């Protein structure tokens, strides 16, 4: 394969014969976005995680980049599938939904949080992989354009933490769950959404080679056309390399790896010697941490994290507890 070094080379690599979104070549929209993000104090960095609206004809280059970039935390979960499956939480018979469909990006940490829950509770679900550029698979959802969206026997659920709360209530209809969800569990679920998740992008797009590694995974697992795949890999990697620097600033991260290692150590400390935060079994906080880390675990940043911190043992226990996914590709 041709060796590509540096952002200009990446740009050249995608400058020929690329597809367009709303009349704009994708690569130029992504690169404009990346460059804009280096000049703007606020919006580009913010937009990776915030609400995105549908791409319309008059939206800027940045919108296209973010539509793709919003997908760009990835799951190498498939690689991580373990043979041994045990310690599964038995699902009470009252909650046996007939039809569960998850609209997702394979790489999205929020989606992976929901999947960790579904996998752990052995709830069979179909996956609809959404194309982040056209979002045509969720066109039917007028009021909500992000993923995950979960349909449970016709009931639409959005927002990963709300989805998990709703499912947990269905699994424990006697309300036992909300009684047992203690402050510790709530606190750490909040830590995942408000802290851990923000450290991930700066790490996986830290260097051009890590950004390319990440996009290699995304483009091979996401829902892209052939031409989109080629373009998005290089243009997306370059765009997110720049955007991740803005995210670093926004979340006051001085060194992204240090922040990741500190978060991993903080989590291990929170376990206080227990197998899981939930004790002998994972609770919702365990599932949330595991879910958002799953996309990065086998990327360089995840490998470094396991090598340089004590999180590996807990992570392996979680892989065993969550087990293989009962998902079905729709
Ligand atoms: N708070 C939401 C955040 C969901 C979210 O931001 N998802 C991203 C993907 S990781 C998204 O759909 N972004 C909009 C887009 O890609 O256009 C949740 O927890 O589910």
**Is 105 designated active site?**
yes
Give the Å distance between the CA of 201 and the centre of ligand 1: 13
67 CB within 6 A, ligand 1: yes
110 CB within 6 A, ligand 1: yes
Give the Å distance between the CA of 16 and the centre of ligand 1: 31
Name the nearest CA neighbour of 299 among 192, 237, 215, 231.
215
**Is 251 designated active site?**
no
Per-residue model confidence as pLDDT tens digits over 234-285: 999 999 999 999 999 999 999 999 999 999 999 999 999 999 999 999 999 9
Closest C-alpha residue for ligand 1 atom 10 = 108
Helix 208-221 to helix 6-13 angle (10° resolution) is 30
Q: In what order do the strands lie in the sheet with 100-104?
A: 155-158, 149-152, 100-104, 126-129, 328-329
Per-residue model confidence as pLDDT tens digits over 137-167: 999 999 999 999 999 999 999 999 999 999 9
The ranges assigned to domains in the chain are 7-85, 97-329
- Which of 47, 110, 214 gets mutated to test ligand 1 (max ligand atoms within 8 A of its CB)? 110
160 CB within 6 A, ligand 1: yes
70 CB within 6 A, ligand 1: yes
14 — pLDDT class (breaks 50, 70, 90): very low
Identify whether the C-beta of residue 288 lies closer than 8 Å to the C-beta of residue 189.
yes
Angle, CA of 9, 228 and 110, to the nearest 5°: 100
Per-residue model confidence as pLDDT tens digits over 223-248: 899 899 989 899 999 999 999 999 99
User: What b-and-e string marks burial along 53-91, b requiring 16 or more CB atoms within 10 Å of the CB?
Assistant: eebeeebebbbbbbbbbbbbbbbbbeeeeeeeeebebee
Closest C-alpha residue for ligand 1 atom 6 = 49
Domain 97-329 carries which CATH code? Answer: 1.20.1050.10
DSSP assignment string, 235-294: HHHHHHHHHHHHHHHHTT-S-HHHHHHHHHHHHHHHHTT-SBTTBSS--HHHHHHHHHHT
Residue 53 gets the label, from left (phi > 0), alpha (psi -120 to 50) or beta, of beta
Q: Note the pTM of the prediction, 2 decimals.
A: 0.77
The arithmetic mean of pLDDT across residues 58-79, rounded, is 44
**Is 110 designated active site?**
yes
Marked catalytic residue, from 103, 111, 261, 276? 111
């Amino acid at each position: 394969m041709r060796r590509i070094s540096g952002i200009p080379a990446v740009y050249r690599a995608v400058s020929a014969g690329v597809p367009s979104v709303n009349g704009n070549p994708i690569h130029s929209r992504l690169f404009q976005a990346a460059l804009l993000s280096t000049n703007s104090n606020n919006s580009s960095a913010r937009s990776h995680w915030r609400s995105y609206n549908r791409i319309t004809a008059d939206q800027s280059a940045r919108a296209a980049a973010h539509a793709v970039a919003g997908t760009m935390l990835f799951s190498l979960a498939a690689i991580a599938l373990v043979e041994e499956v045990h310690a599964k939480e038995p699902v009470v018979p009252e909650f046996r939904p007939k039809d569960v469909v998850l609209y997702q990006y394979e790489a999205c940490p929020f989606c992976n949080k929901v999947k960790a829950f579904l996998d752990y509770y052995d709830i069979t679900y179909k996956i609809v992989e959404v194309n982040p550029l056209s979002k045509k698979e969720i066109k039917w959802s007028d009021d909500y354009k992000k993923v995950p969206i979960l349909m449970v026997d016709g009931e639409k659920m959005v927002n990963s933490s709300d989805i998990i709360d709703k499912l947990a209530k269905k699994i424990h209809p006697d309300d036992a769950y909300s009684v047992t969800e203690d402050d510790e569990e709530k606190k750490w679920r909040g830590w995942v959404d408000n802290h851990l998740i923000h450290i991930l992008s700066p790490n996986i797009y830290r260097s051009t080679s890590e950004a390319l590694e990440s996009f290699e995974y995304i483009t091979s697992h996401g829902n892209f056309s052939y031409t989109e795949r080629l373009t998005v890999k290089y243009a997306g990697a370059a765009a997110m390399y720049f955007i991740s620097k803005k995210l670093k600033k926004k979340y006051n991260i001085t060194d992204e790896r240090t922040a990741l290692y500190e978060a991993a150590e903080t989590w291990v400390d929170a376990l206080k010697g227990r197998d899981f935060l939930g004790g002998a079994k994972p609770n919702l906080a365990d599932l949330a941490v595991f879910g958002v880390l799953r996309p990065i675990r086998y990327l360089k940043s995840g490998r470094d994290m396991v090598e340089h911190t004590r999180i590996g043992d807990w992570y392996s226990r979680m892989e065993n507890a969550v087990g293989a996914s009962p998902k079905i590709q729709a």
